[in-house]
Amino acid sequence: MSSKAKQPISSACMSNAIECKGALPTDGRGDAGLETRAFQKRLERHHDELRWLYMELYDNGDMFAELVDQMRRFFDDRPDRLKALDAAREEAGAWYRSQKMLGMQMYIDNFAGTIAGVEARLPYLERCRVNYIHLMPFLDTPTDKSRSDGGYAVKDFRSVRPDLGTMDDLAHLAQVCHERGISLCMDFVMNHTSEEHEWARRARAGEGEYMSRYFFEANQDVIDRYGRDVPQVFPTTAPGHWTYLPELGQCVMTQFYPYQWDLNYKNPRVFNEMMYNFLYLANQGIDIMRLDAVPYIWKQLGTNCRNLPQVHTLVRMMRMIGEVVCPGVVLLGEVVMAPVEVVPYFGTVEKPECHMLYNVTTMATTWHTVATGDVRLLRLQLDAVCGLPKEYTFLNYLRCHDDIGWGLDYPVLRRWGQEEVPHKRYLNDYFQGYAPGSTSRGALYNADPVTGDARFCATTASMCGIEAAGFEGDAEAMKVAVRKDLMLHAYMLTQSGLPIIYSGDEIGQINDYSYRDDPEKADDSRYIHRGAFPWGLVEEIDREGTVQNRIFLGLLELERIRCDDPVFSAEATVGTKDYSDVSILWIVRECAGKTLHAVFNFSDREKTIWMPEQAEYTDLLSGERTELASFELPAWGFAWFEL
């Protein structure tokens, strides 16, 4: 922590629309005045809007004054090296949009045991060209793993899970990462706390101050009305919206699981305290805050409690608070919704909210395309994304820690003869390996026997056929499976945005079925792709011809090309080309006088591809320049030709 003395700004000074400009105290050090002016300038830029939005929600000037006072305290406590990083990032602009960014998502215990273990493994991550690490939830949770939701039931926002390390370990990891040019991302779980959080324990004891931080209800009519209006998050594994507490004779709102109590953001104390947690974690060196389940954070009787206007007000305020105290920190919104509901979380160019959002619909549509061999829906999705302002940055991925939900554009699919229920059934059959021609392996998640709806879980390698080919000892099938795996990663890297690799994908890690033998995990098939990282396979990277060698080196070369060629710049103009064969996806990127034709074959057959014009193209994979009118593209192959 900074050694500078804490000298809070008076509430009166901060509440008067920053009329006390230049009156902030310093500790006498030469740079303190510069830091003070930097803070003051940022606060001046945002104060009026921040106060207006806060008062619109809460109409509580005292709580706003406290918030601003605490913002200054956290700024004073922010380590000098992080303030220097903030300044550098402010000068650089949208640093997270750089084409040199490459992320990897991992569970600390699965990957390296502890936070210190992750630090020891940084040379491996650097070999992977990774400079953005998303550490899956690591804050303290109940020791009973069946009541921790994989880390999303937070017991203490300022403590690390003891088996993973300490907060000092996290701060040290962040410092070492920054020295190596690596950024850290974490999950900020803001919709709920664990039932073991101090607030929840005191609320359960009947303390009114803490009960007001959650939603308690004894009126059955109100409870029933929520049930009618609000969709269930997990209708089969955690049905309902409320959990009865006999000691209080009331129910508490639990939209996700009974042990996760929803926070009441109508209470300004909740917002303030969660922002203090946010700033505390930022001061440990976290660079990217993934806002978990952000669409759910505002509850209003008579609505579906999703994406309400107040949610956007809260996120906008978070953005401004961050830009004042820690402007180098980025907000990543987890909005697993339809595209029309996702895009508003960017805010506007003038009044931005999240810096980045997950490209979740494109991810789901990608696997739909794998199963159908029809790229038309994917083209529509990509063109919609490419039509947004370039400032809107998506995080692109093939897989993540969660399941794959088939949230596709069914009105469009219906025009092509694909009805929602049977199509979802086909997709789940295909990726389980039941459909003709499928080589995928995996498991359903949250399957509903009444509606037939379900989501899907597996690793990228297993969905591409690497598991099946290895089990069958089929060398030719393995060749195709590896090619499919690399093609899909090349397609992901062709998109604009920040690409994220799920840990293990770089070496073709397959499904781990051992979760079925663990009583605490057996009911959650998502653990099929959350297996321990197979460090033994890393040794195979350097053995020519192995699956690990082919995937790792193949990805490495793709990442190198993307990093170095200006055609992959975030400023490129990107779109798709309509091609006569619906199994061919053709993406065009234009920048710096160059045009990239990226062509992907989503079929089991070799295809002859005709170029738009006969010309001399550079094959970015081989570096060769060739006069081309047409070329052959193998099953599940791809090409990067630059004009």
Active site residues: 292, 334
Please tell me the distance from the alpha carbon of residue 359 to that of residue 493, in angstroms, as a whole number. 13
Alpha helices in 59-158 (DSSP H): 61-77, 80-92, 108-112, 115-120, 122-127
Please give the radius of gyration of the chain, using alpha carbons only, rounded to the nearest integer. 25
Cα 215 to Cα 279: distance, rounded to the nearest angstrom: 25
CA torsion sign for 25, 28, 34, 39 is: negative
Give the Cα separation of 65 and 115 in Å (integer): 37
498 DSSP β-pair partners: 395
Q: Which two tokens stand for residue 15?
A: 């509440």
Contact (CB, 8 A) for 605 and 594: no
Q: How far is CA 339 from the centre of its chain?
A: 15
Output the CA torsion sign for 199, 202, 203, 209: negative
- The Cα–Cα gap between 571 and 589 comes to 10
- What single letter denotes the amino acid at residue 328? G
Partners of 139 in the β-ladder: 160
Any idea of the CA torsion for 570, 573, 576, 577, to the nearest 10 degrees?
A: -140
Which tokens sit at 54? Answer: 């806060």
Distance of CA 444 to the CA centre of its chain: 22
Which residue reads 């309509």 in tokens?
Answer: 578
Pairing of strands 242-245, 216-217: unpaired
308 SS3 class:
coil
User: Which residue do the tokens 């508003």 mark?
Assistant: 344
Rounded Cα distance between 617 and 75, Å, is: 52
Q: Which residues contact 118 (CB under 8 A, 6 or more apart)?
A: 106, 108, 111, 112, 133, 135, 173
Q: Which residues in 3-36 are b (16+ Cβ under 10 Å) and which e? A: ebeeeebebebbbeebeeeeebebeeeeebeebb
CA angle, 48 then 283 then 167, to 5°: 145
Q: How many CB atoms lie within 10 A of CB 563?
A: 16
DSSP for 588-600 reads EEEETTEEEEEEE
